[in-house]
Structure 1
Amino acid sequence: MSASASIAPRHRPEALRAFAAQLFGAAGMEADKAGAVADILVEADMLGHDTHGLELAARYLGEIEAGTMALRGEPEILSDRGAAMAWRGRRLPGAWLVLRALEAAYERVAQFGIASIAIGDCHHTGCLAAYLQRVAERGLVLSIHSSAPGAASVAPFGGVKGTLSPAPFAFGFPTGGDPVMIDVSASITTNNMALRLIREGRRYERPWLMDAEGQVTEDPTVVQRGGTVLPAGGQDHGQKGYGWALTAEALSQGLSGHGRADGAPGMSNAVFLQVIDPGAFAGLDAFTRQADAITGNCRASPPRPGFGPVRLPGEAGLRRRAAAERDGLALRAGILDALRPWAEKLGVAMP
């Protein structure tokens, strides 16, 4: 194979957004919702979170075909006390609901300083990191928890049977330069990564899973046979991820009023997000002054042997994003191939 033949083609991010939005629109999704989902999926790919980018689009289209993702309508407002709201998502697209919640939060945070919104029974939210930059660029802080009540892929520390979801958490805040963007989960790896490795016939490099008998393993296929993903902290300190998962499920499912107690199969998600305006406290200038001191100290820490300079969370993703804007986005092999049958079925031109 020639060198040129092995190079993945690059696509303009806006072309990929338009392609994904056209797919979802052709499948019956309202235009604003289709655009929101496409935006968040492509943003994930640009940041390097490609297990939660356009790779998910084929699964979403399958959910639409099966009737398990709502395509039209509005969330039900369960409670509204100004700085705090609870919505029932009615299985509407999670990306659209989260972006809608952020718009509501922007209005309220100007008045109250803090705005908190819990959303129950929404469809999959996608990559949480994809929401952070847009909030931080407004000079605001975002904290967002998500859980999947229908998933039980993480066992409580000391147990064998899965009872919890990986419970991702993202936190973003402004600095004097680029924002800090943290996107982690209560599990040591993700369900989507395990599924990708299974598809590709690969194993993990470390024992990050546990089989149904409680033995740790690198084999991702155990999740299809009653096995689980280890909590963050692994087999030695998994109480950390266990406690974190409980916190995420309490905030997202408890405050939204919808979760495991109701039975929520499929790609149902629950979300809790909080937007904070530093201006309501000591002020944005004071906040960024402290943030710059903290992050500057981290960068100044001498690297360990074999490591490069210390990076901040989200730094590599923002670098990838800038490169994708400049040079185009190279998608992982197989992503567009998986969407080709859907494009042909729905009459949408491939990018």
Structure 2
Amino acid sequence: MNAAAETTERHPPEALRDFAARIFAAAGMEAPKAAAMAEVLVEADLLGHTTHGLALLGRYLDEIAAGHMATGGMPEVLQDRGACVSWDGKRLPGMWLATEAISLALERVGTYGTVSIAIGNAHHLGCLAAYLPRVTERGCLLSIASSAPGVATVAPFGGRQGALSPAPVAFGFPTGGDPVLIDISASVTTNNMAARLVREGRRYPHPWLLDAEGRPSDDPAVMGAGGTILPAGGLDHGQKGYGWALIAEALSQGLSGHGRAEGPSSMTNAAFIQVIDPSAFAGAAAFTREADAITANCRRSSPRPGFEAVRLPGESGLRHRAAGREGLRLYAGVLADLRARAASLGVPVPAVLQPPGEAG
């Protein structure tokens, strides 16, 4: 994350969670769902994924007001075979649905070794990395594939019209030390990042987009004029991201039975969530031994020019998270928007989140 875009003020994460939960509750959301939403959003900011943290709260409130996100109720169980479960999410908050699915998988994984849950017709899941530490801390692996069947902003390799969503996938696994936390998209960049750059009048460092005529572009504004995002791998190796997006959409939409065929709205999400217990395979000790060897082998690689050292996925996020627990620095403008949203809903702002000179 660009440090210059962070504010200098630090705020207690627990105060931000409580504040966000109270805002969602004031908008009519059931308390457990409001708490889950706040938890995942703040965790995203703690890990440094600022486009998918509290910056999304206002957009979610707009979705609630428009009737696009359900604020209460339960998913419909379409199938439950113990180790394989499928839900119709009923447009409930995707963060709450994913949290509930992971809880169910953790309850059952000791019996089945691996538990897979497909969720269709959910609202946005947010930052996938935010779900990983809860599972890796239990000594298990977590895999998530997510897609937005109402979005077609990513061009297939060789094409110029959008056909796919950015289709993020996340994978976390424990080691003898810090876990490895992978959160990557099948596209070179994301819709949220493009929108942020447009608002800030900035461009991408490389031509990661195509304009409406299929010409490479670094201007995020082309997204509003028929442009598309390139799949991961870009102009020359985009077949890799293209294939990856197809896998993510097949796992999430195909297995949940709800996706592009139904023509949903843009913030509808589908997800495939799988928890794996190493003890059901070669054993937890064997997994840790191999995971440590794999990661050590990467760290031993001499850094190429411009890099100080080889890092593992999630390493920077975990450092940011540890520092943020002592006080989280939010992306510029996020807290001001939270305060404005709170005021419109009659939610008082805690003293620790007041602007400088106004606390107390």
TM-score range, shorter chain: over 0.9
Amino acid at match of 2:78: L
How much has 1:349 moved relative to structure 2? 2.2
Determine the structure 2 residue equivalent to 1:343: 342
Q: CA RMSD in A?
A: 0.9
3-state SS in 1 of match to 2:261: coil
Q: Distance in 1 between matches of 2:199 and 2:205?
A: 16
Determine the structure 2 residue equivalent to 1:37: 37
Q: Does 1:255 align with 2:261?
A: no
**Residue range with higher mean Cα deviation, 305-314 or 21-30:** 305-314
Determine the structure 2 residue equivalent to 1:133: 133
Deviations 1:46-101 (A, max 9, x none): 00000000000000011111111000000000001111011000000000000000
TM-score (norm 2): 0.95
Determine the structure 2 residue equivalent to 1:3: none
Counterparts of 1:180-329 in structure 2, within 5 Å, are 180-326=180-326, 328-329=327-328
For residues 18 and 282 of structure 1, do their structure 2 counterparts lie closer, same or farther at Cα, with a shift above 3 Å needed? Answer: same
Amino acid at match of 2:43: E
TM-score (norm 1): 0.97
Percent identity (aligned): 68
Counterparts of 1:54-203 in structure 2, within 5 Å, are 54-203=54-203
Contact 2:150/2:268 (8 A) holds in 1: yes
Amino acid at match of 2:336: D
Determine the structure 2 residue equivalent to 1:16: 16
Contact 1:21/1:38 (8 A) holds in 2: yes
How much has 1:305 moved relative to structure 2? 1.8
Amino acid at match of 2:96: W
Q: Distance in 2 between matches of 1:266 and 1:156?
A: 19
3-state SS in 1 of match to 2:252: helix
Amino acid at match of 2:200: E
Q: Distance in 1 between matches of 2:313 and 2:285?
A: 21
- Which aligned runs of 4 or more in structure 1 are off by greater than 3 angstroms? none
Amino acid at match of 1:11: H
**Residue range with higher mean Cα deviation, 299-308 or 224-233:** 299-308
3-state SS in 2 of match to 1:119: strand
Q: Distance in 2 between matches of 1:7 and 1:90?
A: 37
Q: Distance in 2 between matches of 1:148 and 1:226?
A: 18
Q: Distance in 2 between matches of 1:261 and 1:192?
A: 24
Contact 2:7/2:330 (8 A) holds in 1: no
Determine the structure 1 residue equivalent to 2:332: 333
Q: Distance in 2 between matches of 1:266 and 1:149?
A: 7
Q: Distance in 2 between matches of 1:125 and 1:32?
A: 16
Contact 1:189/1:208 (8 A) holds in 2: yes
How much has 1:7 moved relative to structure 2? 5.7
Q: Distance in 2 between matches of 1:48 and 1:345?
A: 28
Q: Distance in 1 between matches of 2:251 and 2:104?
A: 19
Deviations 1:116-135 (A, max 9, x none): 00000100001000000110
Deviations 1:206-236 (A, max 9, x none): 1000011000100001111111010000010
For residues 60 and 7 of structure 1, do their structure 2 counterparts lie closer, same or farther at Cα, with a shift above 3 Å needed? Answer: closer
Q: Distance in 2 between matches of 1:306 and 1:99?
A: 39
Amino acid at match of 1:219: D
Amino acid at match of 2:72: R
Amino acid at match of 1:275: V
Amino acid at match of 2:209: L
Contact 2:33/2:93 (8 A) holds in 1: yes
Amino acid at match of 1:225: A
Contact 1:8/1:333 (8 A) holds in 2: no
Q: Distance in 2 between matches of 1:255 and 1:305?
A: 44
Deviations 1:248-276 (A, max 9, x none): 00000000000000011131000001100
3-state SS in 2 of match to 1:91: coil
Amino acid at match of 1:329: L
How much has 1:300 moved relative to structure 2? 1.1
Q: Distance in 2 between matches of 1:333 and 1:305?
A: 32
Q: Distance in 2 between matches of 1:284 and 1:49?
A: 30
Amino acid at match of 2:138: R
How much has 1:336 moved relative to structure 2? 1.5
Contact 1:68/1:266 (8 A) holds in 2: no
How much has 1:309 moved relative to structure 2? 1.0
Q: Distance in 2 between matches of 1:197 and 1:338?
A: 18
Deviations 1:160-210 (A, max 9, x none): 110100000000000001100000000000000000001111111110000
Amino acid at match of 2:334: I
